[in-house]
């Protein structure tokens, strides 16, 4: 008998254009996992409402995120690609999990505290229970692995707690999902100005988007913060320089990275040259993805077919889970 593949779930919010952080933190892993796992990847449109109540550009963002997912190498024939809002079973599971989530722990979540600071005028209950909805997204498919960047680590820890609490209260149903990055620790792609991470809706000049054209990429990289170079051999790199090397390790050939590392260690580095090389390598990496994404984005009929089929497949498994959850909770009064 063929061994059943392990289940993988992950999602991206359609709050803006995808960037190198999304690619290296999440998408690259999606693409690598699609061959060997039973993959469910979705656009987290409900989650985006917690921070972006104005839905004017939501439709366009959803189509773009889908096109960019496919342009990065996701094959909708191999994975289930769908919209969160196509699967109402997720909302039902979210409701059950909300009874197992406590106000105190939700208020302590780092992302919640950040959002309270960023949008004090809109501290809604959806924002508070964001990790609960995220748990529902994951365990609705009884997933084992969740490819995400470092910023989602705490959410995954909470997801394991909620899965455990459900199992403990009502009976064993959910595996405990693990955050996943191929062969290494979860990663965080820093922004080019050395403060914080690349982001869809903040720090836009210090974030490289998959839709940026070649000139814009070069401008952003050339503006990245540097200094006059190390004064002593083999010094520790300041954060903003280490960030540039981190990006270089992802997009440039290893001989090139080694040559610049050597120059740095010998106090011979010319940051202008490093940034020019980095810009060239990012351009070569991004331009084919950007061109594919433009073509896919304009094929609305294809995208519609993809999410229709994806939504149906996702609902099939979600429905199975909800039936079992209802039974364990004891909601089937007359059977």
Total binding residues toward ligand TYM, as defined by CB under 6 A: 24
The Cα–Cα gap between 250 and 230 comes to 23
Residue 41, strand partner residues: 10, 81
Q: Which residues contact 189 (CB under 8 A, 6 or more apart)?
A: 19, 20, 21, 24, 25, 149, 197, 198, 246, 247, 250
Query: Least distance (Å) from ligand TYM to the CB of residue 25?
Result: 2
> At CA 180, angle to CA 174 and CA 183, rounded to 5?
140
Query: Least distance (Å) from ligand TYM to the CB of residue 24?
Result: 6
Per-residue contact string for residues 175-214; x = within reach of ligand TYM by CB under 6 A: ------------xxx-------xx----------------
Under the binding rule (CB under 6 A), the answer on residue 25 touching ligand TYM is yes
Q: Which is nearer to ligand TYM, 84 or 226 (CB)?
A: 84
Query: Least distance (Å) from ligand TYM to the CB of residue 2?
Result: 27
Residue 81, strand partner residues: 41
115 has catalytic annotation? yes
Candidate residues 28, 47, 64, 160; the one interacting with ligand TYM per rule CB under 6 A: 47
The span of 17-25, 67-75, 263-271, 308-316 binding ligand TYM (CB under 6 A) equals: 17-25
Query: Least distance (Å) from ligand TYM to the CB of residue 31?
Result: 13
Candidate residues 7, 8, 11, 76; the one interacting with ligand TYM per rule CB under 6 A: 11
Q: Which is nearer to ligand TYM, 203 or 287 (CB)?
A: 203
Candidate residues 80, 138, 221, 269; the one interacting with ligand TYM per rule CB under 6 A: 138
Half-sphere exposure of 320 (CA within 13 A, CB side): 10
End-to-end CA distance of the chain: 33
Subset of residues 140 to 169 that bind ligand TYM, contact rule: CB under 6 A: 146, 148-149, 151-152
The Cα–Cα gap between 245 and 150 comes to 18
- Which of the residues are catalytic? 115, 197, 200
């Amino acid at each position: 008998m063929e061994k059943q593949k392990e289940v993988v779930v992950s999602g991206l919010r359609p709050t803006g254009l995808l960037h190198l952080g999304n690619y290296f933190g999440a998408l690259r892993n999606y693409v690598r996992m699609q061959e060997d796992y039973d993959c469910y990847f979705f656009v987290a449109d409900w989650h985006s409402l917690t921070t972006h109540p104005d839905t004017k550009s939501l439709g366009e963002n959803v189509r773009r995120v889908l096109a960019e997912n496919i342009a990065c190498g996701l094959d909708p024939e191999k994975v289930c690609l769908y919209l969160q809002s196509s699967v109402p079973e997720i909302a039902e599971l979210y409701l059950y999990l909300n009874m197992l989530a406590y106000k105190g722990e939700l208020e302590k979540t780092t992302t919640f505290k950040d959002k309270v600071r960023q949008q004090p005028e809109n501290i809604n209950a959806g924002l508070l229970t964001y990790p609960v909805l995220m748990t529902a997204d994951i365990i609705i498919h009884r997933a084992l692995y969740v490819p995400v960047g470092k910023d989602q680590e705490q959410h995954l820890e909470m997801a394991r707690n909620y899965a455990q609490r459900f199992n403990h209260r009502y009976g064993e149903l959910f595996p405990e999902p693990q955050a996943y990055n191929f062969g290494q620790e979860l990663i965080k792609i820093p922004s080019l100005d050395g403060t914080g991470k690349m982001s869809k809706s903040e720090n836009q000049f210090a974030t490289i988007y998959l839709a940026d054209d070649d000139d814009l990429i070069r401008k952003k990289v050339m503006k990245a913060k540097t200094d006059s170079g190390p004064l002593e051999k083999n010094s520790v790199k300041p954060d903003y320089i280490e960030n540039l090397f981190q990006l270089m390790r992802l997009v440039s050939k290893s001989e090139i990275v080694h040559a610049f590392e050597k120059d740095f260690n010998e106090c011979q580095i010319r940051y202008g040259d490093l940034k020019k090389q980095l810009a060239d390598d990012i351009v070569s990496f991004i331009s084919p993805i950007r061109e594919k994404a433009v073509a896919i984005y304009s094929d609305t009929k294809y995208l519609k077919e993809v999410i229709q089929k994806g939504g149906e497949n996702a609902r099939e498994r979600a429905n199975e889970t909800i039936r079992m959850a209802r039974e364990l909770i004891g909601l089937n009064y007359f059977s």
